[in-house]
Amino acid sequence: MPKLPWPRRSSPPHPLLSLALQGGGAHGAYTWGVLDRLLEAGLDLEGISGTSAGAMNAVALAQGWTEGGAEGARAALARFWQAVGDSVPFHLELLHTLNPANDGALPAPMNMLVGLTRMFSPYQFNPFELNPLRDVVRAQFDFERLRRDCPLKLFIAATAVRTGKVRLFHTAELSEAALLASACLPTLHHAVEIDGEFYWDGGFTANPAIYPLLYECDTPDILMVLLNPLQRDNAPRSADDIAARSMELGFSTTFLREMRMIAHARHHIRETSSFWPLGRFERKLLRQRFHLIEARELGEVHGASKLNATSTFLGQLHEFGRAAADAWLGRHRSAVGQRETVDVAGLFL
């Protein structure tokens, strides 16, 4: 695919940062909290790679950024997640608040609906493709304006069903269908058709994609916001937790493989750099600076909580995310533009 032209932007007062936002259903409200705090702190952005819920956050941020800078982005993110929470019926919200474990477990009626997905395809139990998220996306985002005016470089990942290849939708290609394709779980929704191709959730092939931030962004600083903890303390024992962990691993494989390849390549370049001059790509790879915010708190919540979009739970996740971002800023804000703050080789090799 040819490289698309990006809108011009003035030089920022602070070092630029690119974001890699992982998907994770309702857990994306944690990323909302992270972004809310980063924007409040005045960090300037160049590119955002997002998948599924990460794509929703990316587009919400971009919508607000286009309208009113960082404060506009914070307001747009809050509106989007409030609309998501408002789409959940009140009685399910009430049942969630009565959960004594406070672990994000789904209310019983929602569990029953999830159980249907193990026996019927969405073409059977939801033939008319009722999708509350589509209504939220349609009401919240002006894709025509985003394509025309957004100064941020967006990379929204979806998976082509027939070929298994990743498809990245750039800023100039954004649409309602592209965003819904990035978040299309095949057990819950019909595949999204775009120009004769059918798409499922981008998590199958990029969760999130790192390479567009390497190749198409100028800033060396990339902050990864991961909703799936890189390591679990214990192996799952219950059927629900085993299923949740299996899906989590499936949606993390491509990201882990990509980061492992980056770590191997950097190690190889350093080992052999004394024998011949470094090329442009080798120099670029070595000067990349990776940073990480990892949602370790989510390792303690119920396995099915990624489907819990009740306002109360989303608000809890938002607060967790803000606290994590605040801690990261306290430790590493001064490193942006100066040095890497995560041991890529130690994490991914």
Helices 90-97 and 108-116 pack at an angle, to 10 degrees, of: 110
Residue 244, both tokens: 């949740």
Q: How many CB atoms lie within 10 A of CB 279?
A: 10
**Interacting residues of 107 by C-beta distance below 8 A, sequence separation 6+:** 92, 95, 96, 99, 310
- The CB density around residue 27, as the number of other CB atoms within 10 Å, is 25
Residue type at 74?
Answer: R
Are 73 and 140 in contact by the 8 Å Cβ rule? The answer is no
Catalytic residue selected from 36, 49, 182, 201:
201
Tokens at residue 44, please? 């300037």
246 catalytic? Reply is no
Angle at 317 between CA 129 and CA 331, to 5 degrees: 135
- DSSP states of 276-340 as a string? S---HHHHHHHH-EEEEEE-GGGGGS-GGGGG---HHHHHHHHHHHHHHHHHHHHHHGGGTTT--
Contact 65, 151 (CB under 8 A): yes
Asked whether 317 and 29 are in contact (CB, 8 A), the reply is yes
- The H-or-E segment that residue 255 falls in is helix 239-272
Q: Which amino acid is at 122?
A: P
Contact 62, 152 (CB under 8 A): yes
Which of 18, 36, 49, 52 is flagged as catalytic?
Answer: 52
- 201 is known as an active-site residue: yes
Task: Give, in degrees to the nearest 5, the angle at Cα 61 between 137 and 29.
Answer: 75
Helix and strand tally (H, E) in the chain? Answer: 13, 8
- Cite the active site residues: 52, 201
